[in-house]
A and B are shown apart, each in its own frame.
Chain A
């Protein structure tokens, strides 16, 4: 398979403008500014079938077309580089190794929607990534790809690198907007959607790093080439991050629709140490776990994952072997969500902490049989009752662990200890 997103990362000094340009970088931008109207760029991205890689999978070109053309307000493009979903580390790789692909993607998207101010919101912890990006942005300004009258086209764009300060919820697009407005990262009710009422009430588009980083390739090579890769509804390639009990962890670029079992066993080398696969979370900690027997026939695309009862999400694949205590695992994830709930909506603010406490007491041997149904009850009362998808993201995995490993939970409660050790 031809690498698209990872095409540059193994080249020495891939983060520099010189290397990026020597590999065809900024060719798409020059082409767009010279030969393509903004509408044509949007149409090309629409035709490619590209869907948002932050987790939701919304068609990118369609999102761009929701921006009202007649609005007199300022408009903003935001590249969401607040990667914090447990199990996900693909954007960090792109930021550190191929920052110019992101920057070129930001410029192309801004040109397509005719925005003149763009932000990259990078999570505060990524200090090294921020330094790499800062340098890449300075290089792009110097080369005339940013600023006034880009490459003599008359098009202007300012790009601001904004560092966060540590909060998972700022990866949710409206939480990000609140944070960028100088507030707590509290998500906002949708509708209205950011495309019409975003940053400071102005039309705003928020796209993930991976989404924007692929746009230069699509414009350079043409939508048809991109759309020829993948499945009917999930086009192109996607980055998957593999962690946990796996022989070869790391970031992989995979054609959409690739068989999941083959990916884990062959591409990633399978579970090491003579152990067996017990379960795998396919799309970051927010997504329901799959038991080993459930991955048969599952393909790595949005539709197949959904049919299997989970979601592709951010592509964070967390692998667990048969020595893994699922009670402890469920508690670890519940603790994450209890720590990260922003506190705005009662079902999530209270429910996440209740679930964490109950999982903790089961883990330490003081759980009761009724606790399992209690968690399912709490989970059911969070889903669909919060402003943002965080509530669902906390509630769905909790319920999935209990439903799929119920025997182990019951045995753990009965024996008042982990049954695996």
Chain B
């Protein structure tokens, strides 16, 4: 079946696009919207966005492949992103990542077999004074310790 926005998302799409000086300026927020609606941006999703925003599919693909938050592959229900940049690294990020790998039984870049958790290492999330830290979906967890990592995972089960 062809992909399509729900009527509610379509309404938000039209409202959003109407605020920008040119339709194409809304491409990134529209892709974020599509990702929320369709789970991830597979080829059909990109083609659908290209059609409704009136841009070549190749342009949409070039944009999706540039930004780290736009996913072409499925991610788990909980996307755990650990900051690996210097301030967090100085505060023990490696130990947190090791703990997550052990607890989840996966490597960085993998998803658990039940589809619940994806583990990623990312660059600076502007939370350097409270490192080590990680982002799970949209929430920040700061001043991490191994015990706190365990608690967070437990709360997500």
Q: Do A and B come from one complex?
A: yes
Give me the interface of A with B, judged by CB distance under 8 Å.
Answer: 74, 76, 83-89, 91-92, 117, 123-128, 158, 160, 162-168, 179-185, 199-200, 241-245, 249-251, 281, 285, 316, 318, 320, 324, 328-329, 332-333, 336, 339-340, 342
Report whether B69 and A86 are in contact in the complex, using a CB–CB cutoff of 8 Å. no
B150 contacts chain A at the CB level, 8 A cutoff: no
Report whether B126 and A89 are in contact in the complex, using a CB–CB cutoff of 8 Å. yes
B52 contacts chain A at the CB level, 8 A cutoff: no
Report whether B28 and A318 are in contact in the complex, using a CB–CB cutoff of 8 Å. no
How far does the alpha carbon of A249 sit from the alpha carbon of B99 in the complex, in Å?
24
Q: Can you spell out 18 A-B residue pairs with CB atoms less than 8 angstroms apart?
A: A87-B86, A87-B87, A125-B126, A163-B29, A166-B68, A179-B28, A181-B24, A200-B25, A243-B90, A243-B128, A244-B87, A249-B129, A281-B86, A285-B124, A318-B128, A320-B90, A336-B123, A342-B66
Report whether A125 and B67 are in contact in the complex, using a CB–CB cutoff of 8 Å. no
How far does the alpha carbon of A298 sit from the alpha carbon of B84 in the complex, in Å?
30
B11 contacts chain A at the CB level, 8 A cutoff: no
B21 contacts chain A at the CB level, 8 A cutoff: yes
Report whether A74 and B21 are in contact in the complex, using a CB–CB cutoff of 8 Å. yes
How far does the alpha carbon of A243 sit from the alpha carbon of B88 in the complex, in Å?
9
Question: Which applies to chain A's interface (DSSP): helix, strand, loop or mixed?
Answer: mixed
Report whether A89 and B68 are in contact in the complex, using a CB–CB cutoff of 8 Å. no
Give me the interface of B with A, judged by CB distance under 8 Å.
Answer: 19-22, 24-29, 31-32, 53, 55, 59, 62-63, 66-70, 84-87, 89-91, 123-131, 135, 138-140
Given contact pairs A243-B87, A332-B86, a sample of 13 additional A-B residue pairs in the complex whose CB atoms are under 8 Å apart? A164-B67, A165-B28, A165-B67, A167-B67, A181-B24, A182-B63, A241-B128, A243-B91, A285-B124, A318-B90, A332-B84, A333-B86, A336-B85
How far does the alpha carbon of A74 sit from the alpha carbon of B22 in the complex, in Å?
12
Question: Given A166-B69, A339-B123, A182–B25 Cβ distance below 8 Å?
Answer: yes
Report whether B25 and A318 are in contact in the complex, using a CB–CB cutoff of 8 Å. no
Chain B residue numbers with a CB within 8 Å of A318 are 86-87, 90, 128
Chain A residue numbers with a CB within 8 Å of B20 are 160
Inter-chain CB contacts under 8 Å: number: 142
Report whether B28 and A89 are in contact in the complex, using a CB–CB cutoff of 8 Å. no
Nearest to B29 among chain A residues (CB) is A163
Question: Given A166-B67, A318-B86, A318-B90, A85–B140 Cβ distance below 8 Å?
Answer: no
Instruction: Rank and list the top 4 A-B pairs by shortest CB-CB distance, nearest first.
Output: A182-B27, A166-B68, A127-B138, A165-B67
Chain B residue numbers with a CB within 8 Å of A87 are 86-87, 124, 128
How far does the alpha carbon of A254 sit from the alpha carbon of B125 in the complex, in Å?
23
Question: Given A124-B32, A165-B28, A165-B69, A89–B128 Cβ distance below 8 Å?
Answer: yes
- Specify which of A166, A200, A328 lies most central, judged by the most chain B CB atoms within 10 Å of its CB: A166
How far does the alpha carbon of A84 sit from the alpha carbon of B68 in the complex, in Å?
13
User: Closest approach, in angstroms, between the C-beta of B135 and any C-beta of chain A?
Assistant: 7
Report whether A244 and B28 are in contact in the complex, using a CB–CB cutoff of 8 Å. no
User: Closest approach, in angstroms, between the C-beta of B79 and any C-beta of chain A?
Assistant: 11
How far does the alpha carbon of A259 sit from the alpha carbon of B24 in the complex, in Å?
48
Report whether B67 and A86 are in contact in the complex, using a CB–CB cutoff of 8 Å. no
Chain B residue numbers with a CB within 8 Å of A84 are 123-124, 126
Chain B residue numbers with a CB within 8 Å of A245 are 90
How far does the alpha carbon of A332 sit from the alpha carbon of B131 in the complex, in Å?
15
How far does the alpha carbon of A249 sit from the alpha carbon of B46 in the complex, in Å?
43
Chain A residue numbers with a CB within 8 Å of B55 are 182
How far does the alpha carbon of A285 sit from the alpha carbon of B55 in the complex, in Å?
37
Chain A residue numbers with a CB within 8 Å of B129 are 89, 241-243, 249-251
Report whether B69 and A124 are in contact in the complex, using a CB–CB cutoff of 8 Å. yes
Nearest to B64 among chain A residues (CB) is A165
Chain B residue numbers with a CB within 8 Å of A88 are 124, 126, 128
Of A125, A185, A250, A324, the residue contacting B125 (CB under 8 A) is: A125
